[in-house]
A and B are shown apart, each in its own frame.
Chain A
Amino acid sequence: MRIKTLLILFCLVLPQISLADGPPKSLNSPEGVSAISPGSELWRAVRQRDGEVLEGVSQVKSVDSGMLINARGDQWARFRISKLTTYGGIAIAAVFVIVILLYVVRGKIPIEGGLSGRMVRRFTDYERIVHWTLAIVFLFLTITGLILLLGKPLLIPLFGKEVFSVFASASKEGHNLFGPLFLVSLIMIFLSFARRNIYEKGDLTWLLKGGGIIGDGHVSGGFFNMGEKTWYWMVILIGFAIAISGLILVSPVFGQGRWIMELSHVIHTIGALILITVSIGHMYLGSIGSEGAMEGMKSGYVDINWADAHHDRWGKKCHDENLIISAEEYARLQGRKPDDTAELATEQGK
C-alpha cells in the first residue's frame, strides 16, 4: 500500500519537476533554497536504503515476486564483481607464482637414498579410478567455472564480447551438467578413503613441524600424513558444500528465494576458489614437485624408499609384513619384461 501511495504521489509530482527551470538547487547553494525532490524519497523507499525490507503485492505468485527492487541483490553483485572476481583471480595467480618459485628454488624433492626399484602396493585399481574420475571432473568444472567467474575481465579484452558469450554459454551448460558428477565422484572418494584419513596420534607433530619445513630432520607419517589428511577432508567438506550449493543454484524450483541463491553462489565460489588454489599445490607435490609420488596414482605401486621417506610408519608396516616386491616382479605386473626394470625406474623418477 505504501509503495502504491508513493507511486501515485510520484506520478502527480513528476510533471512539476520536469516543468521546473533547470536542476533543483541545493540547500547550501548561494543562489537560493529549494525543496528536496519527492522523487528521491520515493526511490529511497523503493531501493530500501533505510534497511527496511518492503514486500509489495503482485499478480505473479512466486518467491520474491512482491519485491520491486532487490537491494541485497545489488550488494551481492557488487561483492561478486569487486571482491570475488578480483581476489579470486589474484589468489589463483599467486599460488601459481609460489609453485613456480618453489620449483625454481627447491626443484624436485629427491628420495633419500634414491629409487630402490623395489615396490609396494599403495592404491588399488578402483581407488585410482575413483581418484582420476574426480580429478577429470574437477578440472573440467574448474576451467568452466573460472571462465564464468573471470571470463568477463580476462577473456572479453582478448576475444571480444561475442566470442566470450559463446564461451560463457558453453561453460555454463557444461558446468551445470558436470556438477552432479562431482557429487557422485565425491561420494565414491569418501567411501574409498575415509577410514585411512581419520586423524591419529602423531599427526599434530607433523603439523607443528610444518610437514618437515620447520626444524631439522624427518617428520613421521602414516599411510597418509597430516597434510594429505587435511587436504582430503577439505575436499570432502568443502566439496560437499560446493556440490549442495551448486544443486541449489542449478535447480531454482524448490522455492528458494534470491537471498538463498545469492548465499549459495557466494559459498559455491569461495569454496571452489579454496579447492582450486590448494589443488594446484596438490598437483605440484603429486607430480613434478616430489620424486616418485606420481607413481602411486599411476601404477598403484610406490618405491619402498619413497614410502620410508614420506610415510615411514606405513613403510615400516610394509617391511614387517613383507609386502615389498622386487623390481622384476613389478615389471611383470606392469606387463614389462624383467629387463625393463631400468626403464621403469626412470619413468618412476619423472
Chain B
Amino acid sequence: MIEYLIDGPLWYFSLAVFVIGVLWQLGSIVFAGRKGDLSVARGNATSSGFKNIFSRFIPHREIAPQIGVQVVAGYLFHLGLFALLFFAAPHVLFLEENLLGFGWTPMPHWAFIMASQAAFLGLIILWVRRMTNPVSRLISTLDDHIVAILTFVVMLTGCLALLEGFNALRLLHRFTVELWLIYFPFSALMHTFTFIPSRAFTGAWFGRRGIDA
C-alpha cells in the first residue's frame, strides 16, 4: 500500500506541484509588470546584466576574506549536488525510464562518492555557519532551516540506499524527494531558477545607471 502510494499517486502529485508551482512562481515574476525606466541611460543595461550573471560567481575582493568559508562550502555543496542529481547512475537510469526516455553516461562510482561527500561537507558547513554567525542567524528564516534540513535528509536517504538492496530504503528516499518537490516552489529552493534572472536584473538595473554591480 505504502509502496503503491509513494511510487504512484504521491510521485505524480509531487511532480505536478513542482512543475506547476515553479511555472507559476516564474510567471508571476515575469508578468508582474513594472513601469518603464524613463531616465537617460548612462550605460548598457544588457551587457551589464549579462556580465553580472557571471561576475557574481566570484566574490568581490573587498569581502572575499570574510566570506571565504561560505564561498568554498557553497561551491562544494552546489557542484556536488548538481553532479549527484544529474550524473549519479541511479538518477540517470530513473530519468531515462520514468521521465525522458533517453539517458547519458553517468559518472563512475568513485566520482559519485566524492560528489556526495563534497555536497554533504558543504551543506553541513553552510548550515553551521548560518547558526553560528550572528548576522546570518538573524537574517535566517524558518524556511532557510527547513530547506537546509530537508535537502540534507533527501541526500542522506539517497546515500543510505546506495546498496540498492532494500526496497524500504529506496521508498524512504523517494518519499523524501517527493516532500522536497512539493516544498520546492514555495521556498528559498526557488533560487535554483531565479538566481540567473535575478543577477541579470540587478546587473541591468545598475548598469543602466552607469554603476558596476
Contacts and interface: CB of A to CB of B under 8 A. Distances in A.
A184 B121 contact: yes
A169 B69 contact: no
A166 B133 contact: no
A137 interface: yes
Interface centre among B124, B131, B133, B159 (most CB of A within 10 A): B124
B64 to A, nearest CB: 14
B161 interface: yes
Contact of A170 (B135, B138, B169): B169
Interface centre among B135, B137, B156, B160 (most CB of A within 10 A): B160
A125 B163 contact: no
B128 A177 contact: no
B39 interface: no
Interface of A: 125-126, 128-129, 132-133, 136-137, 165-166, 169-174, 177-178, 180-181, 184, 298-300, 333-335
A50 B54 CA distance: 71
Interface stretch (B98-106, B112-120, B183-191): B112-120
Interface in B125-143: 125, 128-129, 131-135, 137-138
A125 B168 CA distance: 40
A321 B138 CA distance: 30
B31 interface: no
Contacts of A180: 117
A137 B124 contact: yes
A173 B134 contact: no
Nearest to A179: B117
A170 B166 CA distance: 9
B9 interface: no
B168 A173 contact: no
B19 interface: no
Given A125-B132, A165-B166, A169-B163, 8 more contacts: A128-B128, A129-B128, A136-B124, A136-B128, A137-B124, A173-B162, A177-B117, A335-B135
